[in-house]
Amino acid sequence: QVTLKESGPGILQPSQTLSLTCSFSGFSLSTYGMCVGWIRQSSGKGLEWLANIWWNDDKYYNPSLKNRLTISKDTSNNQAFLKITNMDTADTATYYCARSRGYFDFWGPGTMVTVSS
Amino acid sequence: DIQMTQSPSSLPASLGERVTISCRASQGISNNLNWYQQKPDGTIKPLIYYTSNLQSGVPSRFSGSGSGTDYSLTISSLEPEDFAMYYCQQDASFPYTFGAGTKLELK
């Protein structure tokens, strides 16, 4: 059974760095072809893909966030991570991680992140 | 980036009704089009992948079709649990992009 769950700070101040953790089970990111992605959703708005990381450590980022994103993984502990630097109020959103096979076939419940001074 | 234009943004419908949601890509995406359902509690689940493949566990009243730039999701007979948000997504090229969503609501 594949499950994923996001965790994060809940609230942080503008200019701080957001660190998110995706803890998953039911698959391994060391298995050929496996991939985990991050997607966010601002309040009342649509979905925005942020980044993907593959079993072989390949990474793709959404260029709209320029150089603010860093995705990484800890295969031994079945976790994936996302860091976003220089957070702004516009980054307030629910952040999801999901297993990706091109499409996202399993999603976590999401973690809400609020950026406020 | 490939822009995904989804329509309608809101769709009032009745139980038992057949409905169709459309998604148009700004360029050809070679059937790399997926559909998701989001419930009010934020839970997201895949419905259809690669245009027309039904995700495991998804009822057969859901179907997808399309090619080139134009794709659609059809629900053949609406059940109470189908009233939710629906999003299309292309995975033909990075960055992956989503449509703006369709809110399927009870008429």
B91 touches chain A (CB under 8 A): yes
Percent residues over pLDDT 90 in chain A: 94
Residue ranges, chain B, pLDDT below 70:
none
A107, HSE (Cβ side, Cα atoms, 13 Å): 23
Burial of residue B13 (number of CB atoms within 10 Å: 0-12, 13-18, 19+): middle
Mean pLDDT over the full length of chain A: 96
CA pair distance A54, A110, nearest whole angstrom: 20
Answer whether the bond into residue B46 is a cis peptide, omega within 30°.
Answer: no
Q: What is the mean pLDDT of residues A6-33?
A: 97
Interface touch A102/B34, C-beta < 8 Å: yes
Does A81 lie at the interface with B, CB-CB under 8 angstroms?
Answer: no
pLDDT of residue B92: 97
Among A46, A47, A103, beta carbon nearest to B91 = A103
* Statement: residue A110 has pLDDT above 80: yes
State residue A7's pLDDT score. Answer: 98
pLDDT of residue A42: 94
Question: Which of B96, B98, B103 should we substitute to test contact with A (largest number of A Cβ atoms within 10 Å)?
Answer: B96
Q: For position B55, what pLDDT does the model report? A: 98
Rounded CA separation B16/B36 (Å): 21
pLDDT at B8: 98
pLDDT at A12 over 90: yes
pLDDT at A66 over 90: no
Cβ contact B89–A60 (<8 Å): no
